[in-house]
Amino acid sequence: MLSSSCRVSVSITAVVGAAARTTPKIPNFRFIGLKKFQLASNPKSRMEVSHLANFTTRASAQPLKNAEELIDSVETFIFDCDGVIWKGDSLIDGVPETLDMLRSKGKRLVFVTNNSTKSRKQYGKKFETLGLSVSEEEIFASSFAAAAYLKSIDFPKDKKVYVIGEEGILKELELAGFQYLGGPEDGGKKIELKPGFLMEHDESVGAVVVGFDRNFNYYKIQYGTLCIRENPGCLFIATNRDAVTHLTDAQEWAGGGSMVGALSGSTQREPLVVGKPSTFMMDYLANEFNILKSQICMVGDRLDTDILFGQNGGCKTLLVLSGVTSLPTLQCPNNSIQPDFYTNKISDFLSLKAATV
């Protein structure tokens, strides 16, 4: 067990389905992004998706000393949101000025989050509330990734999607034209286990999508399990497998990985993961904006999702210490995930830029 000062909250090495931490090892779940697939929105374009990154020890991360050099070396910055742009409902100091500076230099900005509880439109409203001008097309949530993946594989429109998750997933599925059931309305449903009781399920369900769900219950577990185990070819899709999340600033809370883990345990199946650190969203972005991954810098506050997401996609990576990861955690000998650079917060782009002039 790692010491508290040296502990890395690595969702891909956590025992899924529990908040307990164990000796890190790489489980056998699948990331989306291990084969060629064709985007429904662009049938002439194919995206060659990279294999999982080699989990080898990298050189130690370097403190960012020359922001100007990093800014000039890439065309696009991908930012995680919570812990990078905001904390809860409060902007992190210097964010508006930093984003304005990057836009003035012609940089493309994209905002990516594993939080599936909101749709892109709902996230757009949050940016607006915080005084940031961000278009819906610049926002990529894992709720959108789930719908985008189904479109990319030409998921049959006569099939349904059973959702274990919140409103964000439902809205994105609806926008993509898919039929769905479940979601929040199943949160109050209960099962009376009487002798001989057999639970019915919709045999037209062709995919079960699991995301973070604050109304997770046994009904949803059983319904999703029946669909995955008994409906031929039914897909098991996870928006992410984060072990913990930050619902309050007082402590860590069980993340979407706990819901995914319950279904994985009951079905004995591993999910297809569409959120970070899967390469699916990175490949989608590269294709959507027609940019080289080597011209992207991923900026995030979590090693196991944000930085690994960038590394799996072949991008430059910058860790900010304004969120989950502390400097002792980054520099812990047990941590093998090393970004290219680290800094305190993204507004360091302004001060470090000025220092190099």
CA separation for the pair 85, 87 (Å, rounded): 7
Contact 235, 288 (CB under 8 A): no
Q: Is 301 annotated as a binding residue?
A: yes
- Could you tell me the two tokens for 269? 């199946």
Catalytic residue among 82, 186, 242, 283: 82
End-to-end CA distance of the chain: 46
φ/ψ (deg, to 5) at 42: -145, 75
Q: How far is CA 150 from CA 61, 120, 158, 274, 357, in A?
A: 36, 17, 13, 10, 48
Active-site annotation holds for 82: yes
β-pairing, 253-254 vs 244-245, is antiparallel
CA separation for the pair 197, 193 (Å, rounded): 6
DSSP state of 82: B
Q: Is 82 annotated as a binding residue?
A: yes
Q: Is 304 annotated as a binding residue?
A: no
Q: Is 276 annotated as a binding residue?
A: yes
Rg (CA), the chain: 20
Active-site annotation holds for 186: no
**Residues in binding site for Mg(2+):** 80, 82, 301
Annotated binding site: 80, 82, 276, 301
Residues annotated as binding site for substrate? 276
Residues marked active site are found at 80, 82
